[in-house]
Amino acid sequence: MPKLWNETIETHRQAVRDATLDTTAALVAEHGLTSVTMSKIAEKTGIGRATLYKYFPDVESILSAWHERRISAHLHELATVRDRVADPAARLEQVLKAYALIHQERVRHHNEPYGAELAALLHPDEHVAHAQHHLREMFRELLEQAAAAGAVRDDIAAGELATYCLHALTAAGGLPSEPAAERLVEVTLAGLRPPDATHPANTAG
């Protein structure tokens, strides 16, 4: 059964890869990049140094892969939240909230001993640009659906509203608690409501 065998190999490779990423991120966050070597990573992951080099050429490439995996996980998390809710308005609110909390968590990591150093290393690359595009498209679709349901204004393009949401919610990184992040989502959502609902006198304007 070569297919099953290949799957086993692939599962094993994925497990080694994942363990390497986890170990490296933990080592860098704890000790700083300059004190983390390929030997140290191999030792802590429990694999040989030669094996590690079959997966990654250097520490930077491991961190880049770790970052890529984290971004994919965030996108997957948001898609899961989206697909769990049927009502367009509630769906939008849930995804905005999940995104705000991801940002709050991200800044918490940034404040770990070597978190800022790690963040500075993770330059925006092609993968990040792709993820940001994907995220903006997801928000744009959610906003279009909510606008069609009458919960969001339709006099401003959904793409512009998506840009507003994505920026407004990054404010969660500067807020101290989950309730504060929830208030931010509430304020951000209030900005999206149809103007005729908020300003009955201005419907014609």
Instruction: Copy the structure tokens of residue 127.
Output: 């993968």
Alpha carbon distance 97, 184 (integer Å):
9
Q: Which of 4, 50, 190, 201 binds a copy of itself (CB under 8 A)?
A: 190
Instruction: Copy the structure tokens of residue 121.
Output: 């290393």
Alpha carbon distance 41, 59 (integer Å):
9
Q: Which of 12, 49, 76, 167 binds a copy of itself (CB under 8 A)?
A: 167
Residue 114 CB, nearest approach to a copy of itself (Å): 17
49 near a copy of itself, judged by CB under 8 A: no
183 near a copy of itself, judged by CB under 8 A: yes
Cβ–Cβ contacts within 10 Å for residue 25, how many? 19
89 near a copy of itself, judged by CB under 8 A: no
Alpha carbon distance 11, 17 (integer Å):
10
Q: Residue 132: CB partners within 8 Å, gap ≥ 6?
A: none
Binding piece for a copy of itself, criterion CB under 8 A, among 19-27, 58-66, 70-78, 181-189: 181-189
Residue 195 CB, nearest approach to a copy of itself (Å): 7
Residues at the interface with a copy of itself (CB under 8 A): 153, 156, 160-161, 163-164, 166-171, 174-175, 180, 183-184, 187-193, 195, 197-198
